[in-house]
Amino acid sequence: MPSKLTELEIRNSKPRKAKYTLAAGNGLMLLVMPDGSKYWRLRYRFGGKARMIAVGKPYPETTLKAATARAADMRALIAQGLDPASERKAEKLAKREQVANTFGQAAEAWLQFRSKAWDAKTAEQARNYLEKDLLPKLRSRPLDHISPAELGALMAKIEARGAFDIAKKTRQWLKAIFSYSRAYGWTANDPARDLAAIAAPAPQQENYAHLQIEELPNFLRTLDAYAGSTLVVCCAKLSLWTANRPGVTRTLKWSELDLDAGLWTINKGREGMKRGYFHLTPLPTQAVEMLREVRRISGHFDYVFVGRNDPMKPLSDGAINVMLKRIGYQYKQTAHGFRHLISTALNDQGYAEDWIERQLAHGDPDKIRGTYNKAQYLDQRRVMMQAWADYLDKIRQQGDDITGDLQRMPLAITA
């Protein structure tokens, strides 16, 4: 039966307030939407029920002639006792199953999917691990042919070089890739399921080296006497006054400081901040005074503690540890060890654990105790850290005997 609709009529059809149809014959029709878009549909009956199915892409990508031909093919299927809608679903499933039959294809699809929820740094890290440890051996391997023993051997190589954290993360990603692949019907294989059972135990991690409280007076005086870089010494002192992570402290920018308010603001997603948490750091008066002096040196640059060879970059990662070695404290104190030292001292004095944990930026401040108050315990922490800085001044002047009548710090304040 010839078409009751012409190309000219289709082109001239205008949108209305409500959608409407133009009959093209034999159940084929054009659906005209209020926004002007036009879709091909085929009405048919199958199993005694009225049904409708899309025919090709919207007009004009699918012309009247092409839509008529496709509709004829669908009616031929109906004549054979086949439902076009069911056949289309089967074709889509078959195509989806063919998308990824190698590990490399599946890993790429999984990475693209997961990267939507990750930040750029996490996605880059995942890709680097895949490219370094998994894809060189598994890229072209069919998913169905990869065995647990094959994956176990790869994990053993990673562990053999001492990269136990990478091995742990890689096991997690292997499980995720195969789980993703099974969900899409690319494989029924699950060779990563039991990898944790043969994971080599990581050596017990030692705490970062740090001094005992009794050793602080001599250390502080030695630090004051150091004749090397003023900026390195100041960076170390700021670590002692704030307990912030070394990577965050050495990359401090002037734009993060409000010296009049005695506040250091670390915005969410900040480079060097673990998991990119937002963090507010109260600055004791000693730190504010020191930073005002440092501004004379580096105030016209972005970074507070500028690099030795390039002032456009921050202090190098190992600068403080090199200084500690030069003043005789190698293996006794590290840049990161200041955090352990401060945490121990504050806990010993009975300060609230929540205040100390917040000062150390442990945990997401947006989720702590179900509140979204980003200034958690700021007033309490300001008093606590000022007391700590005052205590450091006292023991520097007092001498090596810090027991006697000298109270270590003011009594812990209450909430």
339 is catalytic: yes
Selected catalytic residue, list 70, 237, 245, 358: 245
Is residue 55 within 8 Å of 66, Cβ to Cβ? no
Residue 408's identity, in one-letter code, is: R
Catalytic option among 336, 374, 396, 408: 336
Instruction: Give the contacts of 260 (CB within 8 A, at least 6 positions apart).
Output: none
Give the other-Cβ count within 10 Å of 49's Cβ.
8
SS (H, E, C) the chain: CCCCCCHHHHHHCCCCCCCEEEEEECCEEEEECCCCCEEEEEEEEECCEEEEEECCCCECCCCHHHHHHHHHHHHHHHHCCCCHHHHHHHHHHHHHHHHCCEHHHHHHHHHHHHCCCCCHHHHHHHHHHHHHHHHHHHCCCEHHHCCHHHHHHHHHHHHHCCCHHHHHHHHHHHHHHHHHHHHCCCCCCCCCCCHHHHCCCCCCCCCCCCCCHHHHHHHHHHHHHCCCCHHHHHHHHHHHHHCCCHHHHHCCEHHHEECCCCEEEECCCCCCCHHHCCEEEECCHHHHHHHHHHHHHHCCCCECCECCCCCCCECCCCHHHHHHHHCCCCCCCCCCHHHHHHHHHHHHCCCCHHHHHHHCCCCCCCCHHHCCCCCCCHHHHHHHHHHHHHHHHHHHHHCCCCCCCCCCCCCCCCC
Whose structure tokens read 């070394």? 246
Beta bridge partners of 314: 306
Clarify whether 245 is annotated catalytic.
yes
Which of 193, 362, 374, 408 is the catalytic position?
Answer: 362
C-alpha–C-alpha distance, residues 181 and 406, integer Å = 66
- Please confirm, yes or no, whether 362 is among the known catalytic residues: yes
336 is catalytic: yes
Distances (CA, A) of 33 to 11, 36, 56, 60, 287: 14, 5, 16, 14, 67
| 284 phi-psi bin (left φ>0, alpha ψ -120 to 50, beta other) | beta
Please identify which of the residues 38, 70, 237, 339 carries the catalytic annotation: 339
Catalytically active residues, by annotation: 245, 274, 336, 339, 362, 372
